[in-house]
C-alpha cells in the first residue's frame, strides 16, 4: 500500500519485510512478523510471566498490575534483559529531553516527548533505532494530533452520512487519547496507534458500520464523573471514497456517546463493525464500556 506519511525531515528507508509503528508523532520500523502486546505486562510487570516471549511491539494502555518486579542489586535490572521479556519495542511518553541511553539489553531513544524502548540483541537494537523519526502524519495516514482529543464530545465536521459514501478505497483508523485530568496529557494529547484498511476490506468495514442499528450505546452516564465520561481514548476513522475524505468517530471507552458517529447519525458498536478496527496495533487493553457481549458489542480480547 502507498505510504501517506508526512515525515519531519527525511524518512529513513524501511528494510524489506519490515513495517512502520507509530506513537505520539514518532515512527519506528520493526520486522513485519512481530506481534503486539501490553507494555504493562511485557515490560513493567515482566516478573508475572518472565521468559523468552515472541517479539512484539508493546504499548501502554492496560492497567499496571500492583506488583513490584525487583532486582538482585548487581548488573542491569532484570527487566532490561531479553531473557525475561523477549524481544520488545515499547512506547511511552516522557518529560526528559531527546537522547539515547543503553543498559543491559535495552536501548532507550527519546524524541519529542516520546520514549522508544528497544530490547533485543545489539545488532537488532541498532537497526531498529536507526529507523526512528518524527512525523506529522504517520504511514497509515493518521495525523499526530486531532481536535477531538481536547473536545471529547465533538462530532465530525462536515457531517457525511456513512450510508451514502460511494466507492470506498481505504479507511485509516487512528486511536487518540482523551483527557484524564493529568496536566501532562492535557498539554499535548497525541496519537496512540494506527492501522489502515484498503480495497475490499475498507469497503466491507464501511458497509458493516452502515448496517449497524441506529441509536448508539450502551451508555451508562451515572457510572462516570462528567469530566471523564467519554473514557480515556477514542478512534477516528478517515474514510476515503469517490467523494473525498470523511470522518467517523468511534466512541467505546466511556459512559456516554458510545457508538459510531458520522456527524449525522450515531450507530451501535457491533462485533462485525468493531472487530477489524481494534486488532494489531489498535488492540484495546483498557476495555470497552458495559459488560461482555452486551447488545452484541465487541469486547476486547484477553
Q: Mean pLDDT over residues 11-27, rounded?
A: 96
**Residues 188-247: tens digit of each pLDDT:** 689 999 999 999 999 999 999 999 999 988 899 999 888 889 999 999 999 999 999 999
Predicted local distance difference test score (pLDDT) of residue 102: 96
Predicted local distance difference test score (pLDDT) of residue 293: 40
End-to-end alpha carbon distance in the chain: 30
Q: Is the pLDDT reported for residue 279 higher than 90?
A: yes
List CB contacts of 73: < 8 A, sequence separation 6 or more.
none
Predicted local distance difference test score (pLDDT) of residue 296: 43
Predicted local distance difference test score (pLDDT) of residue 300: 42
Among 103-107, 110-114, 283-287, the least confident range = 283-287
For residue 185, give the C-alpha cell: 496529557
Q: Is the pLDDT reported for residue 62 higher than 70?
A: no
pLDDT band, very low/low/confident/very high, at 136 (cuts 50, 70, 90): very high
List CB contacts of 210: < 8 A, sequence separation 6 or more.
162, 163, 267
Percent of the chain with pLDDT over 90: 75
Question: What's the burial of 45, exposed, middle or buried (CB within 10 Å: 0-12/13-18/19+)?
Answer: buried
Predicted local distance difference test score (pLDDT) of residue 206: 98
Q: Is the pLDDT reported for residue 250 higher than 80?
A: yes
Q: pTM value? A: 0.91
Predicted local distance difference test score (pLDDT) of residue 289: 54
- Measured CA to CA, the distance from residue 87 to residue 34 in angstroms comes to 9
Q: Mean pLDDT over residues 127-139, rounded?
A: 97
Amino acid at each position: 500500500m502507498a505510504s501517506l506519511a508526512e515525515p519531519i525531515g527525511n524518512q529513513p528507508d524501511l528494510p524489506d519485510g519490515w513495517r512502520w509503528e507509530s506513537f505520539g508523532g514518532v515512527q519506528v520500523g520493526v520486522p513485519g512478523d512481530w506481534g503486539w502486546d501490553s507494555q504493562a505486562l511485557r515490560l513493567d510487570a515482566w516478573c508475572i510471566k518472565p521468559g523468552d516471549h515472541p517479539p512484539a511491539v508493546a504499548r501502554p494502555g492496560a492497567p499496571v498490575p500492583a506488583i513490584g518486579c525487583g532486582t538482585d542489586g548487581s548488573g542491569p535490572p532484570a527487566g532490561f534483559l531479553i531473557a525475561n521479556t523477549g524481544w520488545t519495542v515499547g512506547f511511552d511518553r516522557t518529560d526528559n529531553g531527546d537522547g539515547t541511553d543503553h543498559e543491559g539489553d535495552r536501548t532507550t531513544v527519546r524524541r519529542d516527548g516520546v520514549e522508544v524502548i528497544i530490547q533485543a540483541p545489539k545488532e537488532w537494537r541498532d537497526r531498529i533505532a536507526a529507523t526512528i523519526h518524527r512525523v506529522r502524519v504517520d504511514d497509515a495516514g493518521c495525523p499526530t494530533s486531532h481536535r477531538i482529543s481536547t473536545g471529547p464530545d465533538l462530532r465530525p465536521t462536515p457531517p457525511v452520512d456513512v450510508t451514502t459514501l460511494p466507492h470506498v478505497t481505504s479507511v485509516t483508523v487512528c486511536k487518540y487519547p482523551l483527557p484524564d485530568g493529568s496536566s501532562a496529557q492535557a498539554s499535548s494529547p497525541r496519537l496512540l496507534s494506527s492501522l489502515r484498511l484498503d480495497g475490499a476490506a475498507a469497503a466491507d468495514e464501511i458497509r458493516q458500520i452502515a448496517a449497524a442499528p441506529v441509536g448508539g450505546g450502551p451508555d451508562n452516564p451515572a457510572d462516570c464523573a462528567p469530566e471523564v465520561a467519554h473514557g480515556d481514548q477514542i478512534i477516528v476513522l478517515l474514510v476515503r471514497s469517490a467523494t473525498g475524505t470523511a470522518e467517523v468517530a468511534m466512541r467505546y471507552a466511556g459512559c456516554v456517546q458510545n457508538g459510531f458517529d458520522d456527524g449525522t447519525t450515531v450507530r451501535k458498536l457491533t462485533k462485525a463493525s468493531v472487530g477489524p478496527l481494534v486488532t494489531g496495533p489498535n488492540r484495546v487493553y483498557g476495555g470497552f464500556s458495559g459488560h461482555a457481549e452486551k447488545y452484541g458489542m465487541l469486547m476486547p480480547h484477553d
